[in-house]
C-alpha cells in the first residue's frame, strides 16, 4: 500500500466497516516500520487490502477488507496468505487478530488458516458495543502449518485456473 492508493482504500473501508479508519490513520500506518500493508488489484483498480504489525515474534493483523462488489472470489484469502507469508519472512511465530463476534464470514476465513478463538474482549467495539473474539494461530513455523499454507495456496491456484477456463 502506497500513499497514492489511500483514496481507493478509504472508499472500500467506508463500504466495509461501520467505523472506518481515516485517511491519516492509513498514512500513519504505512509509514510505521513495524507494519506492512498490501493492496489487491484487478488491473488498475484496488479491490481489497490488508495489514499487520509485526512485533518481536508476533504478527497482529489489523485490517483485512475486500470491496463488497468483489467479495467471494478468494481475494480476501489471497491477501491473508500474503500477510502470513510476510510474517514468516519476518520471523514471526504467532499470528493474532480481533474480529467482531457477529462476523462469521471473517471467522470462517481465519479458521481456514488455523486461527482459533482464544478469548473474548467484552464490548470492545465502541460503535455498537459488540464484543471481539481474539483469535490466534500459534507456532506457524512448524512444518504442519507450512503444509497447510501450501495446500491452501494450491487450492487458490486451482480455483483461478477453473475460473479462467469458464
Ligand atoms: C472477510 C473478507 C475479507 C473475506 O474476503 P473474501 O474475498 O470475500 O473471501 P474469500 O472469497 O477469500 O473466501 C475465503 C473464505 O472466507 C469464508 N467465506 C467467504 N465468504 C463467505 C460467506 N459468504 N459465508 C461463509 N464464509 C465465507 C470461507 O471460509 C471462504 O473459504 P471457502 O471459499 O473455501 O469456503 C470480506 O468478506 C470482507 O471484506 N468483509 C468486510 C470486512 C471485514 O469484515 N473484514 C474482517 C475484519 S476482522
The domain that holds 158 is classified in CATH as: 3.40.630.30
Residue closest by Cα to atom 18 of ligand 1: 105
Q: Is 72 in the pocket of ligand 1 (CB under 6 A)?
A: yes
Rounded Cα distance between 145 and 148, Å, is: 5
Contacts of residue 146, Cβ cutoff 8 Å, sequence gap at least 6: 88, 140
Q: How far is CA 135 from each of CA 1, 17, 166, rounded to the nearest angstrom? A: 25, 19, 37
Q: Which three cell numbers stand for residue 94?
A: 504467532
In this prediction the pTM is 0.97
Nearest-angstrom CA–CA distance, 78 and 39: 11
Domain count, the chain: 1
Distance 135 CA to ligand 1 centre (A): 16
- How does pLDDT run along the chain (166 residues), one tens digit per residue? 999 999 999 999 999 999 999 999 999 999 999 999 999 999 999 999 999 999 999 999 999 999 999 999 999 999 999 999 999 999 999 999 999 999 999 999 999 999 999 999 999 999 999 999 999 999 999 999 999 999 999 999 999 999 888 7
Give the cell for residue 148. 497447510
**Which residues does the annotation mark as catalytic?**
98, 110
Domain extent, residue 134, equals: 3-165
Asked if 44 and 109 count as a contact pair (C-beta separation under 8 A), the reply is no
- Predicted pLDDT at 164: 83
- Is 71 close to ligand 1, i.e. is its CB under 6 Å away? yes
Ligand 1 in reach of 65 Cβ (< 6 A): yes
Amino acid at each position: 500500500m502506497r500513499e497514492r492508493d489511500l483514496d481507493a482504500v478509504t472508499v472500500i473501508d467506508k463500504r466495509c466497516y461501520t467505523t472506518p479508519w481515516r485517511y491519516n490513520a492509513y498514512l500513519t500506518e504505512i509509514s510505521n516500520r513495524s507494519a506492512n500493508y498490501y493492496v489487491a488489484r484487478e488491473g488498475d483498480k484496488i479491490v481489497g487490502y490488508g495489514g499487520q504489525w509485526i512485533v518481536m515474534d508476533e504478527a497482529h493483523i489489523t485490517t483485512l477488507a475486500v470491496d463488497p462488489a468483489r467479495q467471494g472470489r478468494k481475494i480476501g484469502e489471497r491477501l491473508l496468505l500474503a500477510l502470513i507469508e510476510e510474517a514468516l519472512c519476518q520471523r514471526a511465530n504467532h499470528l493474532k487478530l480481533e474480529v467482531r463476534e457477529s462476523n462469521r464470514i471473517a471467522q470462517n476465513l481465519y479458521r481456514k488458516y488455523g486461527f482459533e478463538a482464544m478469548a473474548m474482549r467484552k464490548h470492545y467495539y465502541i460503535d455498537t458495543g459488540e464484543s471481539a473474539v481474539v483469535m490466534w494461530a500459534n507456532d506457524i513455523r512448524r512444518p504442519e502449518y507450512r503444509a497447510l499454507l501450501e495446500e491452501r495456496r494450491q487450492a487458490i491456484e486451482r480455483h483461478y485456473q477453473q475460473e479462467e477456463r469458464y
